[in-house]
Amino acid sequence: MELRDAGTQAPLAGSPLAIRPGDWRGAVTAQRGRLLLGQARDLLHPLRDVAVVAYSGGRIMAFATAKASENGSFALILPAHLLDGTQRQVVHVGIAGSDYLLRDGTITLGHKSGIASPALHPVALAGKRIRIKISTPNLKEAQAWGDFHFANSLRRSFEKIGHSVAVDTQDSWYANPHDEDVVIALRGRHRYKTDPAKINIMWLISHPDRIDPAEYADYDHVAVASDIYCAQLRASGLPSVSTLHQAVDAGLFTADPALPRKPACLFVGNSRREYRTMVRWCLQRNIPLELYGGGWDGIVAPDLVRAQNIANDELAGYYASHLILLNDHWDSMRDNGFISNRMFDGSAVATPILTDKVQGLAEVFGDTISTAETIDAFEAVIKDCLANPAPYLARARDAQRIVLAHHTFDHRAVELNAIIEQVTKP
């Protein structure tokens, strides 16, 4: 069934019509005579417009388009005769292609009968005030911390589905206790003291070795960026735990596929006060390398470091303009199956990646990512890729499809939203 705009006869969003149950959200937020205002979203595809339909007695009365780019807002005009009739008439407002009736979407009309719809007040689409807690010390240092950019990408995706969201650095963790319904702690270096009256969710994205097992009991749900470690926590008796891998900001990590790629390796990372293995291997085997990061003084020649850092909004361009992106993991992450965020970011722009071998990699990326555990294997992969890049670029495009289909922050916001809705508080 194809739905068309009554005036322009253009196909409406959601047409042709196929019913899909679940994962919709919306509300009628105000009524002004014949005008209904509201919001409606497809949580599985938050960037798509949806068609809102008003119907009564089995007949369709009016359509409107809820624009994803405008936070799902719509304005629907009911036919004039609905207000002029002497009989009471009930109109329902839902989303075309769904089984979902909008909140406050049952409107009773009929002025001459003395029956009017109840007063409607503007409400948030999802109605939650979420604060994301990160271990970044303060805003002054925030730009240098990956957690800050990670949290803000998640914030933007939450806002697309109607939540009110803020990111708190460590110095402001407890500054706004009356302005939060939900706390999402991106577990970093320090433990956050939860308030049991709030909905508390931990998203463990790295360093599981730093956490006292007793800390998990502070949270209503623990999301873990590792299938392997999630299974371990479940086996230990943790009652509410699920896998939630890291993700990419698909709006940020995009690049022109025709961008020329330098025949060199790219490594972006600080030294961690050590001679990181892949950097050392490149120098030992005279492999072309472009290095960005801090703390390399006294470890490599000063002229080898191109810059101390790359701005987060410029990373995609650097990744997309190199033929090979190098990646490594902390020991605790590698052994416990925590896949680095760089794997998702680099794959989003279809750049071939060479990484150390991490548990659970194939379960997420299949055979699209190259790995090396020895200097000889490392050199062999790089020389082969530089000499014959086509198959590596083809595998990188497969990795891109995997990431954009399953591992964006828009996906994670919808998944976390489902977790939030399942939590009940006394």
**Do 267 and 228 lie in a common domain?**
no
**Do 326 and 395 lie in a common domain?**
yes
Q: Which of 139, 162, 160 is nearest to 149 (CA)?
A: 139
CATH number at residue 37: 2.60.40
73 in any annotated domain: yes
pLDDT score recorded for residue 113: 35
Of 111 and 116, the structure prediction assigns the larger pLDDT to 111
Sign of the four-CA dihedral 318, 324, 325, 326: negative
Total domains in the chain come to: 3
Tokens 């555990």 correspond to 373
**Do 147 and 200 lie in a common domain?**
yes
CATH number at residue 393: 3.40.50.2000
For 31-50, write each residue's pLDDT tens digit: 766 778 888 988 888 788 88
**Do 208 and 292 lie in a common domain?**
no
**Do 376 and 277 lie in a common domain?**
yes
Q: Which of 84, 133, 130 is nearest to 109 (CA)?
A: 84
195 in any annotated domain: yes
For 166-194, write each residue's pLDDT tens digit: 999 999 999 989 889 999 999 978 899 99
Kind of pairing between the strands at 370-371 and 241-243: unpaired
**Do 299 and 348 lie in a common domain?**
yes
Is 100 strand, coil or helix?
coil
For 57-69, write each residue's pLDDT tens digit: 767 888 888 888 7
Are 228 and 336 in contact by the 8 Å Cβ rule? The answer is yes
Is 319 strand, coil or helix?
helix
**Do 73 and 186 lie in a common domain?**
no
User: What does the mean pLDDT of the chain come to?
Assistant: 87
pLDDT over 50 (residue 2): no
Neighbours of 116 (CB within 10 A): 13
pTM to 2 decimal places: 0.71
For 292-308, write each residue's pLDDT tens digit: 999 999 899 989 999 99
d(Cα 88, Cα 426) in Å, to the nearest integer? 40
118 in any annotated domain: no
For 193-219, write each residue's pLDDT tens digit: 999 999 999 999 988 988 999 999 999
CATH number at residue 222: 3.40.50.11930
pLDDT score recorded for residue 122: 37
Kind of pairing between the strands at 221-224 and 241-243: parallel
**Do 53 and 83 lie in a common domain?**
yes
Q: Percent of the chain having pLDDT more than 90?
A: 56
d(Cα 332, Cα 209) in Å, to the nearest integer? 7
Q: Percent of the chain having pLDDT more than 70?
A: 88
Q: Which of 80, 95, 91, 94 is nearest to 117 (CA)?
A: 91
User: Distance between alpha carbon 306 and the CA centroid of its chain, in Å?
Assistant: 31
Show the domain range for 46.
24-113
**What's 12's DSSP letter?**
P
Domain end: 199, 217, 244, which one?
244
